[in-house]
Amino acid sequence: FPDLKTNVFRSERTGSYVLMHCHQDLVSFLGCGLILAGVWHLVYHKKSQSSYGRYMAQSPPARTVPARLAWFLQEMPAFIIPLLLILTTHKSTIMGKYMLLGTFCVHYFQRTFVYSLLMRGKPFPLSVMVAAGLFCSLNGFLQGHYLLHCAQFDDEWFTGYCFKIGLLLFYIGMTINIHSDFILHNLRKPKEVIYKIPTGGLFEYVSGANYLGEIVEWFGYAVATWSFPALSFALFTLCFIGPRAYYHHRFYLEKFKDYPKFRKALVPFIF
């Protein structure tokens, strides 16, 4: 097959050599698909955002799912699929691959089993949940398959600057994201539906501090892996939640007359 690249590894359990097939054409197709999907979302939602949360229509869709359950179900494939790929793939001698994919799984473990349980919000439209679940499934497979079957690193890569800087950016972004979500979670009491001005952390500088953290995460991951699939996911993330930060910022400015004028939407002091 023209789209098949083969890596050969020696199994520690049997001593035999194991063929690991890389579907390079599929990887390229899915990576390009992520970028095109991000650009499409950027253009299609130029004047309005996806209809969930504060942007849901006044008359909610007929079929909705409780927010906590919806978030749990839609995020779970991005954690489970790479984990299954790790467990069912013969171990490579290059353990850095598992460290990188484990980093990806750490994010989605937190989003699936921690963040979803802390959510307070309106029910999700069923269509939004299904679309997000499909995206997480495809992306989880893409990142896992590429790292385990396609990526080729030498030992020096995992001691180099790109790897270290990328992981540092990832965990800085994840810390910002979790801390910002914590601030948002504590803005309202249980069953409150009013909106308040978030303060503290990077919310002192931008309206979308949680989104900024996640964007930094995935660009850091792209640097650490130095791969097209990771870069395509980072670009998709920027196109998808970057505009949402802008609309959040506009929402706050319109709703609160005392909203800090120096606060930007996504990038401190710039935008």
Distance CA 101, CA 131 (A): 23
Q: Residue 169 pLDDT > 90, yes or no?
A: yes
CB 106 within 8 A of CB 82: no
Question: Taking the domains of the chain in order of start, what are their residue ranges?
Answer: 24-255
Residues 6+ apart with CB under 8 A from 18: 8, 9, 10, 11, 90
Q: 101: closest CA among 89, 112, 113?
A: 89
- Go through the chain and tell me how many residues it has: 271
Least confident interval from 3-12, 109-118, 146-155, 251-260: 3-12
Summarised one tens digit per residue, pLDDT across range 170-209 is 999 999 999 999 999 998 887 777 889 999 999 999 999 9
In the block, tokens 């993330």 appear at: 237
Mean pLDDT of 204-224: 98
| Mean pLDDT over the full length of the chain | 88
Question: pTM to 2 decimals?
Answer: 0.88
Q: Residue 27 pLDDT > 70, yes or no?
A: yes
CA distances 213 to 51, 62, 101, 207, Å, are 22, 33, 19, 12
